[in-house]
Structure 1
Amino acid sequence: MTQLWPAPVASGAVRATVSVPGSKSITNRALVLAALAEGPSTLRAPLRSRDTELMARALGALGVAVQDGPDGSWQVTPTSLHGPAEVECGLAGTVMRFVPPVAALAVGRIVFDGDAQARQRPLDTMLNALRELGADIDGNALPFEVRGTGKLAGGPVTIDASASSQFVSGLLLSAPRFEQGVTLLHQGKPVPSLPHIDMTVSMLRAAGADVDDAEPNTWRVAAGPIRAFDVEIEPDLSNATPFLAAAAATGGTVTVPGWPAQTTQAGDAIREILRQMGAEVQRTARGLTVTGPDELAPIDIDLHDVGELTPTVATLAALAPGRSQLRGVAHLRGHETDRLAALQNELNKLGGAVEQTEDGLLIEARPLTGGTWHSYADHRMATAGAILGLKVPGVVVEDIATTNKTIPDFPGMWTAMLEDSM
């Protein structure tokens, strides 16, 4: 039965220190690179969540050993990739888009499937690109089948990655193992979430790959080995944003320890976003501290490169007197759910005034009332409902357990944050 979770109301300003687990984006990229490396690798402080466990099991199904280390690390030992295998993707975009190129390098038949909702997510761009590079694939959406021969020719390929940066990252991560590497050209509307591609390129280079991204919309990865590595996973900055938003919404102060001085994570953009909405933001050796204003300011912002932050920003905008506009996020209609429609529906049900535009949302702050906030099996919709509940009594979040996708025990962390404030 779907869990209904009464979102706690903040009795006053939230004041807490919240440690967040490792980055999902870095963990899943590191798992793929480790699976293709020359020798055993160690991932320290990895995120343990539904999405990363699905990635570990997917690679394990292909013969890769992913084992628990004594210190909570993951020890990854590559091997000859092989089928037959079944890969369960859940609703994880990184699994359904990063693992097919790995499967194309395996020997045997590999079947991919996932949650019912995942069958609606676009995959044809990735699968058609792999066919052009020499893969034998049956199907254009989940479920589909990869029939691997142990190698992939690689070479030049042109795609339209305007629906998701994951199409680019998925191809680049395995490209050093293609016989000719890959020269990937994007043609179409601008690629969303470019920081995620920067993360992929940075991690490839750190593992010894030769990557040329000097030309806009073009990525060249030379064929060659991937070095084994030992890496400490950064805290997940996007998963930290609901907790920082709690400070902004309530005029409180929240610190997230370990915030990196330099990072490729898209979540780092929350610093400037919260400043624009009136918060005080400071990064020190201790971490990142956000202190909220007496009253949030509305915002007009392009979130194209950091679309994953949209549910958090939209919720804060609904609490900020005035009119806000979120732009550049049309691609969110193809995420775990249609996030633009979901935000419009849920905020308006509670008394909000939200309109969809061609590429975003117009949000006019109105007095809000309690009610059921549907998550649509989307972890970021669920955390958005929790933020709203801090200020709006009676918000009940449907399927709070979907947050396990990226944040283990989010309800416990949220409750602990509020208990620290008392």
Structure 2
Amino acid sequence: MNAAQTRSARPWPAPQRTTPLEAQVLVPGSKSLTNRLLVLAALGDDPSALTLPLASRDTDLMVDALTSLGARVERDGAVWTVIPATHGVMGDVAVDCGLAGTVMRFVPPIAALSRASVTLDGDERARVRPMSTTITALRALGVEVEDGGHPALPFTVHGTGHVKGGELQIDASASSQFVSALLLTAPRFDLGLDLHHTGPPMPSHPHVEMTVTELRRRGVDVDDSASDRWVVRPGPIASLDAVVEPDLSNAGPFVAAALVTGGSVRVRSWPESTTQAGDAWRSIADSFGGHAERDGGDMIFSAGETLAGVELDLHEIGELTPVVAAVAALAESETRLSGVAHLRGHETDRLAAIAAEINRLGGDVQEREDGLIIRPRPLHSGVVSTYDDHRMAQAAVVLGLRVPGLLVENVGTTAKTYPDFASVWERFVA
């Protein structure tokens, strides 16, 4: 049993910090970017090289899925070379999605372009994640999908070697990944794609902006001038060597550490311009009374004199909510977080999980339909459940900085997007 498995098998003691933290960190590459770049490289005209991609469970699952569909990924240290498929895959193919939303949503449209019958499945919790929009969209495009009458994993996509494309309406209010998945593959559709989102506001729009940006960098014609509409012209996807930015969402716990300990943390190689949702930590730190300042290529986050409660609409940056909630639980006044009803369909129902775990420690968190009200209370030791959710584990370690004797169940789930996070955190806090 390796170290990560050992940590998963028994509760892990989260390190406490009783003095202001002064530290620095370099977080690994962005999962969101890595998986988008892998898909575009696999669909490209020629090989592409990715430098500093994230090697984690989610990206390993994406590599395995693309390989099963005919692409090749050659790993040489910090450089991965992706060779697109040169022949159509046929027969029966099985894809393990784990608990990765990008895999379960991005891969089905690629499978439709193959000549294989591709069955997608994943972890037990993956089978309750929203997938009906993917299945409905593919069927509307003429793709045969077999789901046994239950629009969720597992299901089988019967590829015919091409997808006609054209005009399509979907409801992406549960996840922006439904839009990104179709846009990434759309240049390979016969007619391209004229995609309309209909329904309540779509969450996490920066992730769609990331997708559009990367498509354009590869010469794809994308028109997003109209609200909730994306028109992708059919055509080639140029090969492009790319360097993957550090994952700014994974920088969140380290930023939070500065805020809750009254210290200062330097996050190295923070991009000057980025489409990552995690870039919002600069303004979030300010809202909590802290400060973010660029120093060359780095960003320095410092705590303020007090840790104030906040009122934030996190609709566009919902993945940051668990760590934001952990900071709020340690603040000096009430916090109201809104706009994140869609988090109930993530790795777990994150709103219910956050409330349950903080309240178990003596906190006062009230669930609302689309958010949380967090009233600071003295917290006591206990075991925090993570629900196999990497963001819940990261929230727990932030609480542990101020709560003595806090234990984290299955901290190894952070390997989903941050390999060996627990060891890095121990060195960081020490």
Alignment TM-score > 0.5, same fold? yes
Match of 2:177 in 1: 166
Alpha-carbon distance in structure 2 between the residues aligned to 1:177 and 1:132:
17
1:334 is displaced (CA, Å) by: 0.4
**1:262-319 residue CA offsets vs partner (Å, 9 max, x unmatched):** 0000000011011110112102213111011242100001000000000011010111
Alignment of 1:111 with 2:122, yes or no, is no
Match of 2:131 in 1: 123
**In structure 1, the residue corresponding to 2:249 is in which secondary structure?**
helix
Match of 1:49 in 2: 56
Alignment of 1:102 with 2:104, yes or no, is no
Alpha-carbon distance in structure 2 between the residues aligned to 1:191 and 1:381:
23
Alpha-carbon distance in structure 2 between the residues aligned to 1:81 and 1:346:
48
Alpha-carbon distance in structure 2 between the residues aligned to 1:108 and 1:241:
40
Q: When the two structures are superposed, what TM-score results if normalisation uses the length of structure 2?
A: 0.96
Match of 1:339 in 2: 350
Match of 1:10 in 2: 17
Could you tell me which of 376, 382, 390 is aligned with 2:401? 390
Alpha-carbon distance in structure 1 between the residues aligned to 2:137 and 2:107:
14
**1:295-347 residue CA offsets vs partner (Å, 9 max, x unmatched):** 21000010000000000110101111111100000000000000000000000
Match of 1:258 in 2: 269
Match of 1:147 in 2: 158
1:111 is displaced (CA, Å) by: 0.8
**In structure 1, the residue corresponding to 2:351 is in which secondary structure?**
helix
Alpha-carbon distance in structure 2 between the residues aligned to 1:278 and 1:334:
31
Alpha-carbon distance in structure 2 between the residues aligned to 1:361 and 1:280:
24
Number of residue pairs aligned between Structure 1 and Structure 2: 418
Match of 2:413 in 1: 402
Match of 1:329 in 2: 340
Letter in 1 for 2:128: Q
Match of 2:5 in 1: none
User: What is the RMSD computed on CA atoms of the aligned residues?
Assistant: 0.9
Match of 2:379 in 1: 368
Could you tell me which of 36, 39, 50 is aligned with 1:29? 36
Alpha-carbon distance in structure 2 between the residues aligned to 1:157 and 1:286:
42
Alpha-carbon distance in structure 1 between the residues aligned to 2:268 and 2:228:
35
1:15 is displaced (CA, Å) by: 1.1
Alpha-carbon distance in structure 2 between the residues aligned to 1:398 and 1:93:
22
1:73 is displaced (CA, Å) by: 1.1
Could you tell me which of 41, 46, 71 is aligned with 1:64? 71
1:65 is displaced (CA, Å) by: 0.2
Match of 1:209 in 2: 220
Match of 2:203 in 1: 192
- Tell whether the 8 Å contact from 1:15 to 1:417 is kept in structure 2 after alignment: no
1:362 is displaced (CA, Å) by: 0.4
Alignment of 1:179 with 2:187, yes or no, is no
**In structure 2, the residue corresponding to 1:239 is in which secondary structure?**
coil
**1:134-188 residue CA offsets vs partner (Å, 9 max, x unmatched):** 2111112111001111111111110110000000000000000000111110111
Alpha-carbon distance in structure 1 between the residues aligned to 2:200 and 2:274:
26
**In structure 2, the residue corresponding to 1:205 is in which secondary structure?**
helix
- Tell whether the 8 Å contact from 2:18 to 2:261 is kept in structure 1 after alignment: no
Match of 2:4 in 1: none
Alignment of 1:78 with 2:89, yes or no, is no
Alpha-carbon distance in structure 1 between the residues aligned to 2:109 and 2:295:
40
Could you tell me which of 340, 365, 374 is aligned with 1:354? 365
Mapping of 1:279-318 within 5 angstroms?
279-318=290-329
1:67 is displaced (CA, Å) by: 1.1
Letter in 1 for 2:30: S
**1:83-102 residue CA offsets vs partner (Å, 9 max, x unmatched):** 42110000000000000000
Letter in 2 for 1:326: L
Match of 2:3 in 1: none
**In structure 1, the residue corresponding to 2:306 is in which secondary structure?**
coil
Alpha-carbon distance in structure 2 between the residues aligned to 1:344 and 1:221:
41
Alpha-carbon distance in structure 2 between the residues aligned to 1:86 and 1:72:
28
Alpha-carbon distance in structure 2 between the residues aligned to 1:315 and 1:81:
48
Alpha-carbon distance in structure 2 between the residues aligned to 1:15 and 1:3:
30
1:3 is displaced (CA, Å) by: 3.0
**1:58-95 residue CA offsets vs partner (Å, 9 max, x unmatched):** 101111101102x4211100013414211000000000
Could you tell me which of 131, 134, 145 is aligned with 1:137? 145
**1:16-65 residue CA offsets vs partner (Å, 9 max, x unmatched):** 11010000000000000000000000010000000000000010111110
Give ranges in structure 1 of 5+ residues lacking alignment. Answer: none
Alpha-carbon distance in structure 2 between the residues aligned to 1:310 and 1:192:
13
Q: Among the aligned pairs, what percent are the same residue?
A: 53
Letter in 2 for 1:298: G
Match of 1:417 in 2: 428
Alpha-carbon distance in structure 2 between the residues aligned to 1:3 and 1:105:
43
- Tell whether the 8 Å contact from 2:282 to 2:291 is kept in structure 1 after alignment: no
Q: When the two structures are superposed, what TM-score results if normalisation uses the length of structure 1?
A: 0.98
Alpha-carbon distance in structure 2 between the residues aligned to 1:216 and 1:394:
49
Out of 72-81 and 142-151, give the one that drifted further.
72-81
1:239 is displaced (CA, Å) by: 0.4
- Tell whether the 8 Å contact from 1:299 to 1:323 is kept in structure 2 after alignment: yes
Alpha-carbon distance in structure 2 between the residues aligned to 1:270 and 1:261:
13
Letter in 2 for 1:138: E
**In structure 2, the residue corresponding to 1:385 is in which secondary structure?**
helix
- Tell whether the 8 Å contact from 1:3 to 1:400 is kept in structure 2 after alignment: no
